[in-house]
Amino acid sequence: MPYTSAVAPSSELFDLLVIGAGSAGAVIAARASEDPRRSVLLVEAGPDYADASQTPFDLVNSHNNSYTAHDWGHSYQATVAGRSAPFPRGRVTGGSSAVNTTIALRGMPEDYDGWAAAGNPEWAWEKVLPAFKRLERDLDFGEKPYHGDAGPITIRRHGWDELTRVHQAWLEASDELGYPRCEDANDPQSWGSGPHPMNKVGRLRISTAVGYLSAARARPNLRIRANTHTRRVVFEGVRAVGVEVETDGTVEVLRGRTIVVSAGAIQSPAILMRSGIGPRDELARHGIELLSASPAIGTRLSDHPALAVACRIKDPSLLDPDQPIVQTILRYTAPDSDQRNDLQIEAFSFSPRGGALNAFAVAAVLEQAYSTGTLRLSSADPHAHPLVEQRFLEDERDLRRLVGCFRDAMKFVETGPLAELVDEVVFPSPERELTDESIGVLLRKLSASGFHPCATVPMGPDGAVDQYGRVHGAEGLLVADASIMPTVPRANTNLTAIMIGEMVGEWVRTRGTELYGL
């Protein structure tokens, strides 16, 4: 059977075996290991840098993303008319929290209440707020009742004197356009433009590897095993009993009483499908014997589509690749929309398009999306990359709102202090007639991912897992990471993924026997 293994198992049995040391998995392992009676093994496909002084600069440097050095090498197709493009995902302890832009933005309370209304009452805003507070050490607003001031993830916002001239001018243009100033984008009732909340201290990126694992490493009941690729989950009947892994070409089975898959929105569904859990036809296509039919796996992929206006700057000396690439944000609501803060506009200190350093960009982002995509296996080979098709903007409601948002982004580069920096708008071409129809054509061809994939193993009564992450049709197996979000929140998913780790980690620590049979 594909979901059993002839490989000899390790003799050691762990109480909890966590696959993936990323935004959620590192948190779960750290929280669960607070109980000294529970043995925890955390397995990571990428490297682990236990000594902070040996951490590579691309992981330290919160001023920009790490794009290739610690990446899975995935790709995706954004729209039917779009081309395949790289899809960065962190392959290192800390996962994508160790390589991203450090935007520490919460979703709207309505996002989590929507999850609750879909059959997941444990994820209502009033229940996830304590987890958001527990994870953060907010240096600016820690005294507020909706913030935390003692958590492992330090959050701060750039002050005016720290902003690049592009971001200062962008905020001044926002003022002229009539948007209110918002000093705390994580105030649950807020909207408007202001500094991004970011999980960084100076240049240092505060990933879950830094915030959670640094303190947990000293515990004798926590073991971290790096450079170990997970091939599939091993079952006895329908009970998960271990994980088949590969290290330097050697295959073995690691054993656990309870298995947590926290490999992220791309790898978690792939691991489940290789293990015999997924859509019946998809598994049959690759000759994988079915353990449990789960049609929701890989069929509801959700993300944020975006497209940026690029401008050549009059004075290239204002641009420096060593500056923070992102510092500010506008959250606002589309006209006639019933989804609060469903749009986002943000400036980039310099254009990430490549070539000469002479341009900056202003991006239009759809934060609340109806269109969904798919994630499928390219083969049963555990090293093969999944096939990711986002299918952005196929819902006309998404296209209409992003067209309007792109027009709003254009207004920024035509207004006041920001316009004064612009030598020429290089995209879209000034020669192009910008009707709603022509903008729609551009969006359907060129929209790109915000790199916030989720909902590939969605929770809910009609999903792939229940509200506690327990996999339908299996025992002793749960999933906890961005893949279980039923829908993408109206925010970068960094902080919500860490919150998921907090929620499940606390359930494991305090209700492990009741919920997970630990």
141-189: per-residue pLDDT in tens?
999 999 999 999 999 999 999 999 999 999 999 999 999 999 999 999 9
**What does the pLDDT average to over 5-16?**
75
How far from the centroid of its chain's Cα atoms is residue 93's Cα?
Answer: 15
The pLDDT confidence band at residue 2, using thresholds 50, 70 and 90, is very low
pLDDT at 279 over 50: yes
Percent of the chain's residues with pLDDT above 90 = 94
Of 24, 14, 74, the C-alpha closest to 44 is 24
Q: Which residue has the higher pLDDT, 351 or 423?
A: 423
Provide the pLDDT for residue 292. 97
Provide the pLDDT for residue 390. 96
What would the pLDDT profile of 186-203 be if each residue is shown by its tens digit? 999 999 999 999 999 999
Provide the pLDDT for residue 314. 97
Q: For residues 185 and 178, what is the distance between their CA atoms, to the nearest angstrom?
A: 17
pLDDT at 83 over 90: no
Which ranges of 345-493 would DSSP assign to H, the alpha helix? 396-413, 416-421, 436-446
Residue with token string 């002793």: 476
Q: Any idea which of 114-118, 159-163, 356-360 has the lowest mean pLDDT?
A: 356-360
Q: For residues 390 and 369, what is the distance between their CA atoms, to the nearest angstrom?
A: 11
Specify the DSSP element, H or E, that contains 114: helix 109-117
Provide the pLDDT for residue 432. 83
**What does the pLDDT average to over 242-259?**
97
pLDDT at 96 over 50: yes
Identify the burial level of 312 via C-beta atoms within 10 angstroms of its C-beta, where 0-12 means exposed, 13-18 middle and 19 or more buried.
Answer: middle
DSSP state of 179: P
What are the E-state strand segments in 178-304? 192-195, 200-201, 204-205, 222-225, 229-236, 239-247, 250-261, 277-278, 292-293
Provide the pLDDT for residue 3. 46
Q: For residues 26 and 16, what is the distance between their CA atoms, to the nearest angstrom?
A: 13
3-state secondary structure 422-462: EEEEEECCCCCCCCHHHHHHHHHHHCEECCCCECCCCECCC
pLDDT at 6 over 80: no
Amino acid at 327: Q
Asked if residues 104 and 197 have their Cβ atoms less than 8 Å apart, the reply is yes
The pLDDT confidence band at residue 511, using thresholds 50, 70 and 90, is very high
Provide the pLDDT for residue 458. 98
Q: For residues 450 and 462, what is the distance between their CA atoms, to the nearest angstrom?
A: 27
Give the up-direction half-sphere exposure of residue 70: CA atoms within 13 A in the CB hemisphere.
28
Of 270, 262, 271, the C-alpha closest to 43 is 262
Provide the pLDDT for residue 9. 63
Q: For residues 238 and 473, what is the distance between their CA atoms, to the nearest angstrom?
A: 7
pLDDT at 354 over 80: no
DSSP state of 108: -
What would the pLDDT profile of 473-492 be if each residue is shown by its tens digit? 999 999 999 999 999 999 99
Provide the pLDDT for residue 1. 40
Give the up-direction half-sphere exposure of residue 443: CA atoms within 13 A in the CB hemisphere.
29
Residue with token string 């500094």: 195
**What does the pLDDT average to over 333-344?**
96
Provide the pLDDT for residue 448. 95
pLDDT at 4 over 60: no
What are the residues whose beta carbons fall under 8 Å from the beta carbon of 387, sequence distance 6 or more? Answer: 374, 375, 376, 377, 378
Asked if residues 272 and 376 have their Cβ atoms less than 8 Å apart, the reply is no
Q: For residues 92 and 26, what is the distance between their CA atoms, to the nearest angstrom?
A: 11
Handedness of CA 441, 444, 447, 450 (dihedral sign): positive
Q: For residues 485 and 160, what is the distance between their CA atoms, to the nearest angstrom?
A: 35
What would the pLDDT profile of 33-53 be if each residue is shown by its tens digit? 999 999 999 999 999 999 888
Rg (CA), the chain: 22
Secondary structure (3-state) at 343: strand
Provide the pLDDT for residue 433. 87
Asked if residues 279 and 393 have their Cβ atoms less than 8 Å apart, the reply is no
